[in-house]
Structure 1
């Protein structure tokens, strides 16, 4: 099973032929700029499409704090995304209170463990919308 940096490496080397489909769902690669290091950091994340946008969840398995990639995109919402062989720039934003219920339902249908993760933590797990730049 692909995980972490190995997942990123195989996905990039094969334009997603290995790594896009993962445990019954789909994965994209999100590249953020480290808010402390300034380095590009790439993370494989479960996603779904919502119109022209891509939706991801900052669950960190229900940990009490959000994942580093989420803090990075809050600090700098200009990100890069790879879906299969397609790479593009996107603008990221945390789903608003109005957007979140529909998007959470979409993502929990894709990965039911998200509902379990939310019960493990007191923090509201953020849902993030990635809008391709220029759309």
Structure 2
């Protein structure tokens, strides 16, 4: 079930527009993400060492801040997953709050339990998992 991945410039432009709207409107955006819980993650590029800014949906489960590497069900992990694996220290913006985090990729059993809870609340993530053979990774972002 190969899914077409948009080119990098299209993704960058899309993300830049969402981040601009997020920052202009105190963490709120419209369109397809109007009622979604979004954060802005600034991670360090695995290869470049440069800041990489990405808007992401997040969930708060049992006091944990969780992000999902779904990439809309494509067969590759999103770039931010590679960046956090290489450099787990990052910066997060949630609404008007900003803080440093340490990212932790969840091990299989913990990931599976939380993923089932996420898909119960947001079934689209189950659709994304069904589109790919890779296991969609989950990360916990802990305040540093």
How high is the TM-score relative to the length of structure 2?
Answer: 0.82
Aligned-pair CA distance for 1:95: 0.8
Distance 1:16 1:73, change over 3 A: same
Structure 1 ranges of 4+ moved more than 4 A: none
Give the match for residue 22 of structure 2: 11
Pairing 1:24–2:46 present:
no
Distance 1:4 1:124 in 2: 23
Q: Which residue of 2 aligns with 1:109?
A: 120
**Equivalenced residues, count:** 130
- 1:40-79 matches, cutoff 5 A: 40-79=51-90
What stretches of structure 2 of length at least 5 have no aligned partner?
1-13
Q: Which deviates more, 103-112 or 76-85? A: 103-112
- Specify which structure has the higher proportion of strand: 1
Residues in 2 aligned to 1:41 and 1:27: alpha-carbon distance in whole angstroms: 16
Take 2:23 and 2:35, find their aligned partners in 1: how far apart are those partners?
Answer: 20
Structure with greater helix share of residues:
2
The CA distance in 2 between the partners of 1:104 and 1:7, in whole Å, is 25
Structure 1: runs of 5+ lacking an equivalent: none
Instruction: Provide the alpha-carbon RMSD of the alignment.
Output: 1.7
1:120 matched to 2:128? The reply is no
Contact 2:105 2:140 in 1 (8 A): yes
